[in-house]
Structure 1
Amino acid sequence: MKPRIIILMHYLELGGAEMSLIGLLNALDPAKVDVDLFIYCHRGPLMKFIPKWVNLLPENTAYAVIESPIAVALKRGHLGVVAGRLMAKLKCQQFRRHYPAKGDDAAIMQYVGNYVTPWLPRINPDVEYDLCISYLTPHNIGRDKVRAKKRLAWIHTDYSTVDIDVVRELPVWGAYDHIASISHDVTSSFLNAFPSLSDRIIEIENILSADFVHSRAERSVELPETVRLLSIGRYCTAKNYDNVPDICRRLRLQGVDAKWYIIGFGGSEELIRQRIAEAGMEEHVILLGKKDNPYPYIKACDIYVQPSRYEGKSITVREAQILCKPVVVTNYPTASSQIKNGVDGVIVPLDNEGCARGLADFIADTALQQRIVDYLRIHDYANTSEVEKIYSLLK
């Protein structure tokens, strides 16, 4: 009999972790493994790209309301989930009174995992899986609600940039046989927080489907004949889009006629629009909003820019490289594990002035742009061979 895997994921909105999951599912071979997929809430435009051979388990409403508004969870009768979420918020607030967050506060998700998971039903309780893959934190559900011979938890975050409650999170990671890290830098930052788990780490690059990216990029999109810059990602602190208007203003002061398009959605949209108005960049920084298919825009742009404050390992950078686009990333902590500077992209300073200057220099250096494009054409950025590391866990 073929080994049987279950993969757990929150939802399939447009995000890096979600796209890498679609890539993994497309890379797995149905002749080698059977795969059950449990999505907590069946929402998001990527749901339709789940391969037909993958067995999508039915949605369970208790799981579907974990991240819904409290009123929705109450209306659906999941009082235990509501109680768990309220307790998680209270306990996290108590923790933060003693240990204030210095970076992004990621501790709350672990508190939710600890206090909500006991109220959830078991997943497919009659089946013992050969491997349970928990794809996104918190990993309590994969630990407590699935019967499995082996367990694999995934890291998608640069742990040097987020504040967590190590004492609460360590036992959850420690319950897994293996921990998948998407890059060497992500591994290093994770082990700074959890040094005792070094023997569990397996580095598995994000897997993408080049055919998927190329086929969806075929639809044409018309963008004005200027220098066309593009960024894609959630409107959030990590992506640093609130600084794009000032960077673009500085770029134009250096004589570069550029329009900067941003595809995405999220809670920082109002702040970004405010910064656009303050910089007077209404005609030059354009928020395109949520796009189910961003690939034609990547194909139509001149340069793809990732101006982030921090990243695990950007999926959209890889997608732009698959489409042979020159890529610029800011010098966030894991940038060097994403880009070989001057070879398959360019790393520029993170501060606004340095970023604008680096972008202007790169825009002017068409010879370097062409060398990068030529390099991208003959190298594989889909990483499909990484799936062999999953198979090796099943032997």
Structure 2
Amino acid sequence: MKKKILIRIGSLRHGGAEKVLINFLKNLPEDKYEIDLLINLYTGMYIKEVPSWVNLYYLLKGEMITTNKPHEIPVKIFRVLYQKMFLWFPWLLYRFVLKNKKYDVEIGAIHGMYREILSSPQSNSKKIIWIQNDIFNLKEYTPEVIKQFFKFDKILVISNKLKEEMQKVAEDRKQRQAVIQIFNPIDKNDTLRKANVQIDDYPFSNTIPTFITIGTVYPQKGYDRLLDVHKKLIDEGLKHQIIIIGDGFDFENIYTKLNDLNLMKTVKMLGFRDNPYPYLKKADFYIMSSRHEGFPTIIAEALILNKPIVSTDVSGIKDLLQNGKLGMITPNSEAGIYEGMKKMLTNLELADQYRKEIASAELPFVLEKSVAHLQEIIDNV
């Protein structure tokens, strides 16, 4: 008998959690599970990558709205209310969208879906939530909200730091044992294949050291402080360039700051790229200036492409960089980013040392290991 599983996520647009879910689905055995994937908004680059044997359901169709333009507000309001209706009256969802199907396991593939899974009218199904960000750094996750997570049978977390934080607030041994750290599965061969695609719009020549950073342009990514650090280093005579790949609601603010600081020649904002890996491959270093993260998938991919990394001390980074052996972990501040970038630019032997360490390291986020661990959790829940 195949195990019947419902998985829920907001959309399948470009993002770490969405990519992880797709990697997971692509590598699960079709003969073992019957999977229904329910997305709130049918949109995103990963829709086309959902395996054909997975049943795909959705609540709404259309593009993601990330701005507050007047003509978009009514659409946003409608979408929120429509989704809330299924949260308030979940039986409607299970009867009319999911056709009264019974599930053995229900999974929230991202922490933001915890209410949706907990509201399920199917009390006999096992419930799993996957925490894909450092919720202890997100305002909406108050201590009362975090307690709700312990209603799940299993709580998957993507870093050792998150596991420790969750276990600290657990009330008993059973709750502590429900928290399981699992490395997000990264497809090494896929990353290498995509990195080898030819591009003709790389914005810089390779004569000057180039840092690259990739991610949605949100305040959490710290691109504002990265620009301030870049300006300071340039003013000190340390020549280097920065490429920022990604879009998001903070794009205009960062672009304006870039112009105000007169950095148009040394910083290029390329916007969203569905394949950022050739740019990553051509750059010299990866820089992560984030204020907080969950499991920064892009760092794992930078390691696969053997890039020296400078990263702020965010959740998951010590696991990924093996406590600083595979890359530089700086204090989570503007001063920390400054010191890290300066060291990388002034000590060329340091970058070579990191490349050697990365090349000989056994990376823990290998696809097969992660998928096997996930299967074990689902089978034994």
| TM-score interval (norm. to shorter) | 0.7 to 0.9
CA distance in 1, matches of 2:107, 2:151: 13
CA displacement at 1:56 relative to structure 2: 3.3
Matched, 1:56 2:55: yes
* C-alpha distance 333-203 of structure 1, shift in aligned 2 (>3 A): closer
Q: CA deviation at 1:319?
A: 1.0
Aligned to 1:170: 147
Alignment of 1:260-299 (within 5 A): 260-299=242-281
Distance in 1 (alpha carbons) for counterparts of 2:142 and 2:333: 29
Q: Deviations over 1:210-229 (max 9, x none)?
A: 12211211112334222111
Cα distance change on mapping 1:168 and 1:257 into 2, 3 Å: closer
Summarize the Cα distance change of 1:41–1:2 in structure 2 as closer, same or farther, 3 Å threshold.
Answer: same
Determine the C-alpha separation between the residues in 2 that align with 1:183 and 1:214: 24
Q: Can you list the C-alpha shifts for 1:146-184, whole angstroms capped at 9, x where unaligned? A: 64631110111213312224335533x233211101111
Identity of aligned residues (%): 25
Is the contact made by 1:158 and 1:190 (CA closer than 8 Å) also made in structure 2? Answer: no
Distance in 2 of aligned mates of 1:318 and 1:337: 10
Number of the residue aligned with 2:104:
130
**Aligned residue runs from structure 1 range 309-328, under 5 A:** 309-328=291-310
Q: Which of these residues, 136, 139, 152, is aligned with residue 114 of structure 2?
A: 139
Show the counterpart of 1:32.
32
Q: Residue 121 of structure 1 corresponds to which residue in structure 2?
A: 93
Q: Read off the aligned partner of 1:167 and give its amino acid letter.
A: E
Q: Whole-Å Cα distance in 2 between the matches of residues 117 and 64 of structure 1?
A: 25
The answer on whether the counterparts of 1:117 and 1:140 sit within 8 Å (CA) in structure 2 is no
1:210 is aligned to 188
Distance 1:333 1:314, change over 3 A: closer
In the alignment, residue 339 of structure 2 is paired with which amino acid?
A: R
Q: What is the CA distance between 1:190 and its match in structure 2? A: 3.2
Deviation, structure 1 residue 143: 2.5
Question: 1:4 touches 1:131 (CA, 8 Å); kept in 2?
Answer: yes
For 2:187 and 2:100, how far apart are their aligned partners in 1?
33
Question: 1:293 and 1:66 mapped to 2: Cα distance?
Answer: 22
Distance in 2 (CA, whole Å) between partners of 1:129 and 1:72 is 32
Spell out the pairing of 1:367-382 with structure 2 (5 A cutoff).
Answer: 367-378=349-360, 379-380=362-363, 381-382=365-366
Per-residue deviation, 1:338: 3.3
Deviations 1:215-245 (A, max 9, x none): 2111123342221111111111210011121
Q: Which runs of 5+ in 1 are unaligned?
A: 86-112
| Contact 1:303-1:327 at 8 Å conserved across structures | yes
2:177 aligned residue: 199
Q: How does the TM-score come out when normalised to structure 2?
A: 0.85
8 Å Cα contact 1:63/1:120 also seen in 2: no
1:388 pairs with 336, 356, 372, which one? 372
CA contact (8 A) 1:17 1:156 kept: yes
> Which of 327, 330, 339 lines up with 2:312 in the alignment?
330
RMSD of aligned Cα (Å)? 3.0
Shift of 1:189: 2.8
Q: In structure 2, what is the equivalent of residue 23 of structure 1?
A: 23
Distance 1:265 1:358 in 2: 25
SS of the equivalent of 2:225 reads helix
The equivalent position to 1:72 in structure 2, one of 75, 95, 111, is 75
CA contact (8 A) 2:43 2:62 kept: no
Equivalent residue letter for 1:275: K
Say how many residue pairs are matched.
Answer: 362
Task: Give the whole-Å Cα distance in 1 for the aligned partners of 2:62 and 2:346.
Answer: 51
Q: Using structure 1 for the length normalisation, give the TM-score.
A: 0.82
- CA apart distance, 1:373: 1.9
Give per-residue Cα distances to partners, 1:69-101, cap 9 Å, x unaligned.
5522677xx79538x59xxxxxxxxxxxxxxxx
1:86-101 pair list within 5 angstroms: none
Q: Cα offset for 1:383? A: 4.4
5+ residue gaps in structure 2? none
State the alpha-carbon separation in 2 of the partners of residues 218 and 293 from structure 1. 10
CA apart distance, 1:355: 1.7
Q: 1:359 aligns with which of 314, 332, 341?
A: 341
Shift of 1:330: 1.3
Asked whether 1:4 is paired with 2:17, we answer no
Asked if structure 2 preserves the Cα contact closer than 8 Å seen for 1:11 and 1:44, the reply is yes
One-letter code of the match for 1:220?
Q
Structure 1 residue 375: Cα displacement: 2.8
Q: 1:153 to 1:255 in 2, by over 3 A?
A: same
